[in-house]
Structure 1
């Protein structure tokens, strides 16, 4: 490469800061150069002094940036409700786009992003970092090569405690923002979205595809003072008949660290993963006795950007493009339509405590044990008669082109 590509960073106050730091810390590679930042609250950002010392132009909007500059790539790390509008505008202005997960709030927005990508000829990647990692790419290749046989059923358990302060961001846990834009922020669409997406992605038949959901049923609950859900238990079936269970909560307890566990069952073996505190297991257990060891998936923001740049320059297909990400958005819409009114946990079960970090948190007494039991038994809470549980409707998403609650609002 003769010269670094030009990059505009859209949002550097939250996760977007990692892209800024990645590019700055790897300047000697000559891979990318920041030509502008779109951040209306730059003075509140941790990187403000570095931005000013480097005299990087800062704008409130993408329109203001593109009025004066061009960029080969736009990296979008803004709240969910802005992903579609900003990604589409950047592509219209000639930039390839790396948009942080999730792809968008609604299916309609995701479809618009795909249409814009196809029409403009720009590349659109979605930042599910596991999908960019060598480890998940190797696992997906092993699955496509038939090592594990036919996928039968997959399940994931994610118990990630979060503080009260975590939900104090203006859009956190919202269905809509103050302007009426759909957000649909939730544990399944934000913090643990990677792991719902991963079940769909690794069972996709090609490197550029994910499994397509056919039905979704979900139980959605909240303990925190939010609009949307902080706890989910869901069952997804794909068009190929694969069953997927996704169970996750931010309100299950006060233990130290995040617990992530999954089991993917195939006709010729199982893929097992567990990550909690100092323990990490990631291996394929074949019925013939072989055990395939995989490293813990590792990829940072800068490497995601480098991966996209390399694929564009080599004319290769994008590892985690819009088409592989759309099924996750379909699942989220299906979950929300399965239980439009979020169930509130009984008051007598909801407690306040302190996380090991010293932050206050809301949790539900006994919830971790209940969700773990459901995970181990492949059931939803209502199916085993949990007193506080309520069943969601089974939603047919096989031809889902619209988040139903959007239609009801019209």
Structure 2
């Protein structure tokens, strides 16, 4: 593969991880880093030094950067969520391929605008849902497409993580539904565990998330922290191809556990997790594989670079393939209608690592059982949970924050 030329917008936050991958590829002669844009580059001394050591030029204005460097092949967008759509559309309109950080957008109208720009310009747009790139997950999709567990009927994702108070203090938009008049919708399924929900929907389509577009969504959203968004969620999705998807997430577990997906079919089941492990019990018996660590972000770069080089490789996470994810996310807010506060009588708060953390031990003990039974929290039932109704996604094309959420703020 010939050396590809790239630039990046945003080198702080998760952008630092992109810088690491880009400089590694540059060191191998696979990537030429032409330039980078950041209005606060001096605040990220390590990344600034790494990029300039490879001869990359610094710009405060990304459009100026692109005007002066038409030779760039693709642009990485690693900015805060609200900037993804306008930058992505503009970069493609200026004639460049894109690798945009996840989620590409948090409203379906923004995503559809990005898809329209991609179609109009003909430029490639890869979304950095890097958990689509691991060998165990690709093997899972191949096996499902080959009918290893028969017809897929149910997909269940479970993610149980711990987030300290410092996590919500790290940036102005953390835990917000809106920031500076723009949608952020920061919460379990739009940020830290977005990969899990996205992979659930791809799995429901046996590799094609578009075939698993949501027909309806039922969700319960809660928080234990003093935030606007959710840190506890349960989502049920009925898909166009007849698969039922369940998603369970909490950021108030007592430790970090490994997120996983269970797939049930008419002739068996499969289990995949973030540690790149896969077990299939199906028509051909039981098979387990463990692929070990991979640099998943690097995989996304190489996949896009191969596509740019004309190898014919399909994108692992095209902008169009993300539509089911954004619809499921928007439907979750429409169904829940509010992000409800879990009363402190069910919460444990303690000091840890120079900050505090709020835990929900009752859910930690029973979440996996609720997931095994396919029950939302109010159906289980948990005493703090509030029932919701399914929301039809038929003809859905525009998200607006439910009035109850717009007025409730951090008090739920």
Return the TM-score normalized by structure 1: 0.91
Alignment of 1:126 onto 2:127: yes
For residues 108 and 35 of structure 2, what CA distance do their matches in structure 1 show? 30
1:407 shift after superposition:
10
The 10-residue stretch of structure 1 (236-245 or 62-71) with the greater mean CA deviation from structure 2 = 62-71
Query: Is the 2:23–2:50 contact (alpha carbons within 8 Å) kept by the matching residues of 1?
Result: no
For residues 142 and 8 of structure 1, what CA distance do their matches in structure 2 show? 36
Aligned counterpart, 2:186? 185
Aligned counterpart, 1:33? 32
Aligned counterpart, 1:394? 390
Deviations 1:338-383 (A, max 9, x none): 123210010222332245x565312224221232331122101111
Mapping 1:64-103, distance limit 5 Å: 64-70=64-70, 71-103=72-104
Residues 1:43 and 1:172: Cα distance change in structure 2 (over 3 Å) = same
Aligned counterpart, 1:145? 146
Aligned counterpart, 1:309? 305
Deviations 1:292-330 (A, max 9, x none): 435357333233111111022223332211121110010
Residues 1:110 and 1:406: Cα distance change in structure 2 (over 3 Å) = farther
Q: Which runs of 5+ in 1 are unaligned?
A: none
Aligned counterpart, 1:332? 329
SS of the residue aligned with 1:225?
A: coil
For residues 28 and 55 of structure 2, what CA distance do their matches in structure 1 show? 21
For residues 208 and 219 of structure 2, what CA distance do their matches in structure 1 show? 28
Q: Which runs of 5+ in 2 are unaligned?
A: 407-412
SS of the residue aligned with 1:67?
A: helix
Mapping 1:308-387, distance limit 5 Å: 308-313=304-309, 314-355=311-352, 359-387=355-383
Residues 1:323 and 1:54: Cα distance change in structure 2 (over 3 Å) = closer
Aligned counterpart, 1:220? 221
Aligned length: 401
Aligned counterpart, 2:409? none
For residues 296 and 393 of structure 1, what CA distance do their matches in structure 2 show? 41
Alignment of 1:284 onto 2:300: no
1:69 shift after superposition:
2.1
Residues 1:393 and 1:40: Cα distance change in structure 2 (over 3 Å) = farther
Aligned counterpart, 2:410? none
The 10-residue stretch of structure 1 (358-367 or 35-44) with the greater mean CA deviation from structure 2 = 358-367
Deviations 1:249-300 (A, max 9, x none): 1013x22x3332331101111112356xxx8852011155332435357333
Aligned counterpart, 1:196? 197
1:83 shift after superposition:
0.9
1:139 shift after superposition:
1.5
Aligned counterpart, 1:405? 401
Query: Is the 1:157–1:372 contact (alpha carbons within 8 Å) kept by the matching residues of 2?
Result: yes
For residues 117 and 29 of structure 2, what CA distance do their matches in structure 1 show? 30
Return the TM-score normalized by structure 2: 0.90
1:217 shift after superposition:
0.6
- State the 4+ residue runs in structure 1 displaced beyond 6 angstroms: 406-409
Aligned counterpart, 1:49? 49
For residues 61 and 367 of structure 2, what CA distance do their matches in structure 1 show? 43
Query: Is the 1:208–1:321 contact (alpha carbons within 8 Å) kept by the matching residues of 2?
Result: no
Aligned counterpart, 2:237? 236
Alignment of 1:108 onto 2:104: no
